[in-house]
Amino acid sequence: MRALISVWDKTGVVDFATRLSGLGWEIVSSGGTAAALADAGVPVLAVEDVTGSPEMLDGRVKTLHPRIHGGILADRSKPAHLASLDEHGIAAIDLVVCNLYPFRSDPGPELIDIGGPAMVRAAAKNHGDESGGVGVVVDPADYEAVLEELTASGGAAAGGLSAATRRRLARAAFAHTAAYDAAIVSWLDEPAAGDAAGVAEADEPSEPAPLPPTVHLALERVDECRYGENPHHLGARYRPVGESTWWDHAYQHSGLALSYLNFFDADAAWRIVHDLGDAEGSSAVVIVKHANPCGTAAGDVLADVYQRAYDCDARSAFGGIVAFNQIVDLDTVERIEAAAQADLIIAPGYEDGVVERLEAKRRNTRVLEAPRPDEAGLSLRQINGGWLVQSPHTFASAPGDWQVVTERRPTEGEMADARFAWRVCGHVMSNAIVLARDRTAWGIGAGQQNRVESGQLAAAKADGRAAGGACASDAFYPFGDGIEAAAAAGVAVVVQPGGALRDDDVIARANELGLAMLFTGERQFRH
């Protein structure tokens, strides 16, 4: 039995080859792998001795040869294939152990592997059936299981791996090459260095890059959820193969295992709290329930910020996700202990003693510590039979570019309230209305089928606490009744995209009511 071993990641390969050789297998290898095995005293036959051809083109051509691929691809169940091997003096290869150049570490043409994927795919194609076939190993984590099975079967004299094992390994091999190709396609979709420089030098903001003609997802399962969206569903977290996300560096101090909705809502809260904190240049707290913020606040003292965020909607905060953009201190944990229990708390860190107090008073609350969220990529959403893809959620307009459309201009304080309300509104599911004052979202109306009812819901939750503050609407007001609802809630300024057919009527009604109104020129629908 002959094995061809050619790996970039040499983790465990010397021990694997040593034990394989001890089972009676002949080892064929190339390049750095052959040198590593020979240095360790493993009997090894160089690829060039098999092919009769030296490595060429700085190693670009090593294994691309009929004496290699013929040995891998010959179907042992076909006498004609075996006769062809005999005719050309080619020995069959029964096991291919290969992993590919680490393209993601330094993307570029020299790390686009050719011979490796060709061998891996050839071996996986020929994994065969019960009559025999080729085994292929692309992950060092499989070395031990392969050795155990070969040992149990009696080594090289008795044969190779079982059909079930070869099939499992073939699947892993095709997943490996698929992920590798997906990484290369993603790299080719990125702007070239010259294009990026041109964008950086431009005076005007650049338009979003065109969406790619194809999207290639290669994902690996990394976390099992406690359950899916409901307890009778299965759920898991996947990530792009070979990549690390902020979730991979999050640490759970205590609490129950995370469910599907814990991941979903915590991800939303974590993105919102950092966006809000960055925009305000201060501490921020966001409480999320079912992907919507039900409480948001920003300010200088974290304990006070948390209290205001919680007081926005204390009823909805029960069982919610609480996100902090600053380290949670002892003063803040006292406020948390006095509030309704949260399902999950996430922060960049905790002062000494905070986690222990949360464990004692909130035993089931999941307490997570995490780095900043990753930069958003393409947004994908599954529909029946396909996917919808769009560029990531952003705020396209700057407050300095907003247009004052009413006779009364907002004061400096009202403008600050409008900026805060608009930022929060951009993260609320449509139709969205946010009433805010003093960097606190006192009323949030979300997900209603019409804007007036979202406004009524926001006003009921605010209960007068946003008086003198701002009302933000994620899309234009088509009629004056929405402005009337904002005025009834006591706000002084309305911020909205503008662009309705009846904008003039809406502006006139705002003037009659003594409101200041700002047009952002951008819509912030979220569904």
Structure tokens that stand for 263 in this block: 């991941």
Coil vs helix vs strand at 243: coil
**In contact, 338 and 315? CB cutoff 8 Å:** no
| Measured distance CA(426)–CA(290) in Å, rounded | 16
* Residue with the two structure tokens 């064929």: 28
Beta strand 251-254 with 366-369 is antiparallel
H-type alpha helices, 52-160: 66-73, 79-88, 115-125, 143-152
**In contact, 262 and 274? CB cutoff 8 Å:** no
Q: Which residues are catalytic?
A: 125, 290
DSSP codes of every residue in 269-322:
HHHHHHHHHHHHTSEEEEEEETTEEEEEEEES-HHHHHHHHHHHSHHHHTT-EE
Name the nearest CA neighbour of 227 among 266, 186, 262.
Answer: 262
* Residue with the two structure tokens 């686009």: 112
Other C-beta atoms closer than 10 Å to the C-beta of 26 total 17
**In contact, 359 and 367? CB cutoff 8 Å:** yes
Other C-beta atoms closer than 10 Å to the C-beta of 478 total 16
Coil vs helix vs strand at 212: coil
Structure tokens that stand for 390 in this block: 């769009």
Name the DSSP class of 59.
Answer: G
Task: Give backbone dihedrals phi and psi of 137, rounded to 5 degrees, phi first.
Answer: -125, 120
With a CB cutoff of 8 Å and minimum separation 6, the contacts of 466 are 435, 436, 437, 442, 443, 489, 490, 491
Note the maximum CA span of the chain.
Answer: 97
Q: Exposed, middle or buried by CB within 10 Å (0-12, 13-18, 19+), for 214?
A: exposed
348 in the Ramachandran plot: left (φ > 0), alpha (ψ -120 to 50) or beta? alpha
**In contact, 365 and 341? CB cutoff 8 Å:** yes
| Measured distance CA(459)–CA(453) in Å, rounded | 10
Distances (CA, A) of 114 to 71, 106, 125: 18, 16, 17
The CA R_g of the chain, rounded to the nearest whole Å, is 31
**In contact, 283 and 302? CB cutoff 8 Å:** yes
* Residue with the two structure tokens 């922060």: 347
